[in-house]
Amino acid sequence: MSSRPNLALIGATGAVGTVMRDIVSTREDIWGEIRLVASARSAGKVLRVRGEDVVVQALAPEVFDGIDVAIFDVPDEVSAEWVPIAAARGPVVIDKSGTFRMEPDVPLVVPEVNPLDARNRPRNIISTPNCTTLSMMAAMGALHAGFTLSELVVASYQAVSGAGVAGSARLYDEVEALAGDRSLGQVAGDVRGVLADKLPGESPFPAPIAFNVVPWAGSYKEGGWASEELKLRNESRKILGIPELKVSATCVRVPVITTHSLAVHARFEREITVADAHRVLEAAPSVVLMDDPAGGVFPTPLEVVGNDPTYVGRVRQAVDFPNTLDLFVCGDNLRKGAALNAAEIAELVASEK
Amino acid sequence: MSSRPNLALIGATGAVGTVMRDIVSTREDIWGEIRLVASARSAGKVLRVRGEDVVVQALAPEVFDGIDVAIFDVPDEVSAEWVPIAAARGPVVIDKSGTFRMEPDVPLVVPEVNPLDARNRPRNIISTPNCTTLSMMAAMGALHAGFTLSELVVASYQAVSGAGVAGSARLYDEVEALAGDRSLGQVAGDVRGVLADKLPGESPFPAPIAFNVVPWAGSYKEGGWASEELKLRNESRKILGIPELKVSATCVRVPVITTHSLAVHARFEREITVADAHRVLEAAPSVVLMDDPAGGVFPTPLEVVGNDPTYVGRVRQAVDFPNTLDLFVCGDNLRKGAALNAAEIAELVASEK
C-alpha cells in the first residue's frame, strides 16, 4: 500500500458518518484522498472533513476506483449488495453492518483484542462488531487474556443514538412533549396516545422512550430473543476466540442520547480478585478505570460521552460465585462502538507493508 | 383482634405514605380508625383518607394507644428508635425500613410468597422488603415453588421515586434544566457544573440522572458493593427460604419516575421451559404476563406505573446455561414495592382470629 492510501467513507451523512468525519479529521492524518459517499439522496451535499469541503458522491461502482480502504456504515441490505462490489474492485472493505460479521471467512476485529485476525481476510472484507458488543470488548479482552473468560451474563443500558439520528431526535422530542407533566410517576395513563397526538411520526422504538426503559433492541429471533442479544453472544465468542463461551444477555434501551452501558457478570477459569482486575484494566490500552464508589467515582454515560476509551467501574468480587466479577462498563456507541473501531481497523490495514 | 381493627400509618406524608393513603382508601375497607402520624414538622396537616379529612399527629408513644396494626415508612434511624416503642405498646408493627429485615426473630414477608412467616413474630414486628427485591418476588416466588431456584444474576433499572419525593423532583428539575440542549449526545462537557449552576440544591443522586444512568443505589458496603445490591441478595434468600441461593446484583438508577425494572437471569434445580414459566406466571397471584415481543408486547415501567401487579415479559430460555431463564420484570416501587405489600401484610394480620 502506498504511504498515503486513499480512504472512502460510505454512509458519510449518518450518525456514525458524522463522528467518522470528526475522527479522521482529528487523528494522525495518514490518508491521501478521503472520499465521502452516500445515497443518491445525499449526493452533492458539501461536508467538512480535515478542515476542507468535500462534495458527497452517490454510491456507484466507480467511487471505489483508486481507493485503498473503504469503510461502510450503511443498512444491512445496502452492505449485502455493495460490500462485495467494492471488495471486488480493489479496496479492503471495513463493514459496520451485521451482514458479514459471522461469516467464517470474514474476520471480526477489535484492534486491542484480535488485531492479527485482520490480516486473514480472503474476501477482502473485515467486519467491525455491533456497538453493544464493542462497548465492553476492550475491557473483557484484557481480562480474558489474563484469566480466561468462561461465562458472561450481561444487561445493557443502550443509548438511543444506537438507533441512528432518528433515535436521538425521538428522545429529545418525547422529552419535550412530556416535559412539565409531573403526573408521570403516579398513573400509567395513555402515554402512547399522548405521544401519538403530539408526535405523529413513527418512532424508531417499540414503546415510549422518555422517562422509560424499553427491553427490546433489534429484530425478533426464535425463542423470543432480540437480534441484539444474540449478536452480543455470537460476536463476543468470535472476537475473543472462545467458541464455547457461555453468554446470556438482556438488551434494554434507556433514555440516554449516546454511550452504551453494560452490567457484566463475568466468570473466569482462573481465580481473579478485584485487585487483579484493577491491575489488568489500568494497564489495558483504550480502557479507563473509574472505580472508587466510596468516593463517588464510577462511570456514567452522560459524563463519558465523546471520549474514545471504554470506562470501567463498580468492579466487585461476586459473593456467591467462584472466580466471578461483577462490573459496570460505559463506551461511546458512536465512537469506539462504531466509527473509532472502524477507523482503527482502517489504520491497521493502512500500516501493512 | 376486633372485627374493625385500628390502623396507624407512620410517615403518612412521604412518597410511600401518599400511595398508602390511596391504597387504604380504595381497597376493601376493613379498618376502624385510620390514624395518620408523621414528624413534628408535618403534625397538624390535614390529609384525605377514605374520603375524610384526617389531622396528622406528631410521632409520640401515645399515638399507638388503641392501635392494632402500625405501618412504619420512615428512615432507618427513626424505625430503629420508634418501632420497638410502638411494638411494646401493643400494635403489630409492619416496618418498611431496612433496620429489622435481616433479624432472625423478625419475619420478612411477601404475602404471595411466605404468608405463614407473618404469624411467627416474637418481637411483634414484621418487616417488608426493599422495593427492588419486592419488584421481582411475586414472580420469582411462583417460579421457585415449581422449579427450585438456585442462582440469580440481576441488573436493575431503578426509578428515581425509590429515593423519595426528592428523587422524582430532581429528575423533573434536571430534565427541565437540560431540555433544549441537543448537544448532550456529542461531548461530555461539564454536566455537573451546568446542573450545579441551575439547581443549587443537593441532589439525592451521586451523579446527574437526566439523560443518564447511575450505577449506584444505597450506601457503600465492603468490597465495593452498594447496600441495595446486598439487600437484594440477603432479602431474596430470606423471603424465598433458600439460605444457599447464589445471587449477584448490579443496581442502577435510571431516569424513570416510578416503577423499578429488573433484568433477571435465573437458574433452577429442575428443568424449565418458557412454556412452563408462562404457565406458572399466568396462574400466579399478583403477576401479569406480557410476553409477545414479536407483537411488541413486553412491560415497560412508564406504561405499568400505578398498577398493583408484577409485570413479566421477555421470558427466554438461556442458550448456553442449563435450566436457566432470562426475563424482564417491572413492578411499581411505590405500590407493590412498598405501600401495597405493607397494606397486604396489615390485612393478613387483621384477618387473624
The 8-class DSSP code of residue B132 comes to H
B93 and B16 belong to one structural domain: yes
Tell whether B118 and B142 lie within a shared domain: no
**What is this model's ipTM?**
0.94
Using an 8 Å Cβ cutoff, are A100 and A72 in contact? no
Distance CA A1, CA A4 (A): 8
A191 and A272 in a single domain? The answer is: no
Q: Which residues have C-beta within 8 Å of that of residue B162, sequence separation ≥ 6? A: B131, B132, B217, B253, B260, B333, B337
Same domain, B59 and B74: yes
Please indicate if any CB of chain B lies within 8 Å of the CB of A148.
no
| Cross-chain Cβ contact B247/A319 below 8 Å | yes
Query: Under an 8 A CB cutoff, do A328 and B215 touch?
Result: yes
Total tally of structural domains belonging to chain A: 3
Inter-residue contact B132 to B157 (CB < 8 Å):
no
Q: Looking at the domain assignment, is residue A316 inside a domain?
A: yes
In this complex, is the C-beta atom of A51 within 8 Å of any C-beta atom belonging to chain B? Answer: no
Whether A206 contacts chain B with CB within 8 A: yes
Question: Chain A residues with CB inside 8 Å of B211's CB?
Answer: 171, 255-257, 302
CA distance A255 to chain B (A): 6
Quick check: is A208 in a domain? no
Q: Are residues A253 and A152 in the same domain?
A: yes
- Domain limits for position B279: 133-159+214-331
Name the active-site residue from A131, A144, A251, A330: A131
C-alpha cell, B84: 420497638
> Which residues in chain A touch residue B159, judged by CB atoms under 8 angstroms apart?
185
Answer yes or no: do A116 and A140 share one domain.
Answer: no
* Chain B residues whose beta carbon lies within 8 Å of the beta carbon of residue A215: 261, 263, 298-300, 313-314, 328
Confidence of residue B334 (pLDDT cuts 50, 70, 90): confident
The CA-atom distances, in angstroms, between A204 and each of A298, B183, B247, B271 are: 30, 20, 35, 37
Q: Is residue A261 part of a domain?
A: yes
**Contacts A–B by Cβ distance under 8 A:** 237
Our measurement of the distance from residue B283's CA atom to the centroid of its chain's CA atoms, rounded to an integer in Å, reads 22
Quote the radius of gyration of chain A (alpha carbons, Å).
21
Which residue, among A161, A178, A248, A328, would best test binding to B if mutated, counting the most B CBs under 10 Å from its CB? A248
Q: Worst-scoring range by mean pLDDT, A272-286, B87-101, B188-202?
A: B188-202
Write the residue in B188, B230, B334 that is nearest to A307 by C-beta.
B188
Closest residue, chain B, to A158 (C-alpha): B213
Residue A30 lies in a domain: yes
Mean pLDDT, residues B97-118: 97
Q: How many CB atoms lie within 10 A of CB B242?
A: 16
B268: left (phi over 0), alpha (psi -120 to 50) or beta: beta
Q: Are A31 and A1 in contact (CB under 8 A)?
A: no
CA distance A87 to A91: 6
- What CATH number has the domain bearing residue A225? 3.30.360.10
User: 3-class DSSP state for residue B339?
Assistant: helix
Please report the DSSP string for A54-112 in residue order. EEPEEP-GGGGTT-SEEEE-S-HHHHHHHHHHHHHTSSEEEE-SSSSTT-TTS-B--TT
Distance from chain centroid for Cα B192: 29
Whether the full predicted model's pTM is greater than 0.80, yes or no, is: yes
Are A123 and A149 within one domain?
Answer: no
Residues B51 and B102 in one domain: yes
Of the pLDDT bands very low, low, confident and very high (cuts 50, 70, 90), residue B329 is very high
Mean pLDDT of B66-90: 96
- Domain match, A138 and A275 both: yes
Q: b/e string for A34-73 if b means 16 or more Cβ within 10 A?
A: bbbbbbeebbeeebebeeeebebbebeeebbeebbbbbbb
| Closest alpha carbon within chain B to A164 | B185
State the pLDDT at residue B3.
74
Q: How many CA atoms lie within 13 A of A190 on its CB side?
A: 5
d(CA A152, CA A139): 13
Same domain, A105 and A17: yes
- Residue A131 annotated to the active site: yes
Is there a domain that residue A206 lies in?
Answer: no
> Side chain identity at A295, as an amino acid letter?
G
Q: Assess B26–A contact: CB distance below 8 Å, yes or no.
A: no
In CATH, what number is assigned to the domain containing residue A94?
3.40.50.720
Spans in chain A with pLDDT lower than 70 = 1-2, 353
Nearest to A313 among B187, B215, B299 (CB): B215
In a domain, A207, yes or no: no
Q: Decide if A173 touches B, using CB distance below 8 A.
A: no
Facing residue for A321 by CB, picked from B211, B246, B315: B246
Q: Which pLDDT belongs to residue B353?
A: 59
Strands A52-55 and B220-221, how do they pair?
Answer: unpaired
Contact between A4 and A69 under an 8 Å Cβ cutoff? The reply is: no
Q: B238 and B123, same structural domain?
A: no
List pLDDT tens digits, range B80-92.
Answer: 999 999 999 999 9
Q: Which of A52-61, A271-280, B181-190, B201-210 has the lowest mean pLDDT?
A: B181-190
Distance CA(A321)–CA(A330), nearest Å, equals 24
Check pLDDT > 70 for residue B303: yes
Mutate to test the interface with A, among B211, B235, B236 (most CBs of A within 10 A): B211
Is the Cβ of A7 closer than 8 Å to some Cβ of chain B? no
Q: Which residues contact B149 (CB under 8 A, 6 or more apart)?
A: B140, B143, B240, B242, B245, B266, B267, B268, B269
Residue A220 CB burial class (10 angstroms; 0-12, 13-18, ≥19): middle
Distance separating alpha carbons of residues B131 and A16, to the nearest angstrom: 39
Is A226 within a domain? yes
Q: Does B316 touch chain A (CB under 8 A)?
A: yes
